[in-house]
Amino acid sequence: MKFLKYAFAILASTLILSCSDDDDNQKPTLIDETADLVLAQTFSNSDHTLAVFTQDGKFTEGYNKVYLQLKDSENEYVSNATFNWKPMMHMMNMMHSGPHSTIGKVQGKQTLYEAYVVFQMAGNNSEYWELKFNYTLNGVDYEMVESIDVMPSSKRRVVSFMGSDNQKYILAYMEPSSPKVAVNDMFAGVFKMESMMDFPMVNQFKVKIDPRMPGMGNHGSPNNEDLTQNSNGLYQGKLSLTMSGYWKINLMLENHNGEILKGEPVTDSNQSSSIYFEIEF
């Protein structure tokens, strides 16, 4: 009798586990792919809703990494859409776009797309940015457009200027987003304004850097490496930060012929370049 009780208990446990496994197979748990992100804004039309995320839930002057999730009218994720987009600044007497990447699926994710945009300036009471998304799904074209609030940055993370070649350039600080007392990997974007709507990436230039601490005698740091273009098109180098505090990263933009298009070396008589980034940590 005792043997039969044990046998029955084992059989019942097996059936429960089998049912549980069957239920799990029929209804897989959806993993949250935006757990470390904050919703910045929701876009919508009559067919879909587009959630736009950033690291802090804000759009800020300078470089912004953005993430997208698209849902249909039944609140189901859409994972096979093809996106195009355009940022647009509406000023008092003109409009212009800004540097931005293509939109692609985040590697290893099912529902999450990613891109970046550089806002050259913040919005204000009379001038504002909008984002326009065009996307194709199952051969059908859709559109969404909404105005957004772009907040000013507390530190200089983007510089726009006319080079000595009479070409307008935009330099955008990208990384490190969380600088450390160490030799940090540094990334930046270098773009030129071909028109009010087109801001392609510049190829085969160099961004010379000279980080200084103005509040500490304008001292520099060792082991910095100038930024050169990597295989992804961004400019990459090494930023040496020897202590925490406020740093000014003095810049000089050099073209492929070795000519300095903008920026000046820091000397005893010249404390700062005319183009620079700022960080404080």
Q: φ and ψ at 216, to 5 degrees?
A: -125, 45
Q: Fill in the amino acid letter for 144.
A: M
- Class (C level, CATH) for 38-151: mainly beta
Residue 280: CA count within 13 A, CB half-sphere: 7
Q: Pick the range with the lowest mean pLDDT from 30-34, 206-210, 236-240.
A: 30-34
Global pTM exceeds 0.95: no
Tokens of 133: 């998304």
Q: Do the domains 158-280 and 38-151 match in fold?
A: yes
Query: What's the pLDDT score for residue 24?
Result: 43
Name the CATH architecture for the domain at 158-280. Sandwich (2.60)
Residue with tokens 């080079």: 163
pLDDT in tens, 1-43: 444 444 444 444 443 344 444 444 443 446 689 999 999 999 9
Asked if 129 and 59 touch (Cβ cutoff 8 Å), the reply is yes
Tokens of 280: 């404080």
> In angstroms, rounded to a whole number, what is the distance separating the alpha carbons of residues 65 and 234?
14
Q: Is 172 exposed, middle or buried (0-12, 13-18, 19+ CB in 10 A)?
A: buried
Q: How confident is the model at residue 69 (pLDDT cuts 50, 70, 90)?
A: very high
Q: Fill in the amino acid letter for 180.
A: K
List the chain domain ranges: 38-151, 158-280
Mean pLDDT over each residue of the chain, to the nearest integer = 91
Give 3-state DSSP helix, strand, coil % of the chain, rounded to 5: 10, 50, 40
Tokens of 82: 């093809």
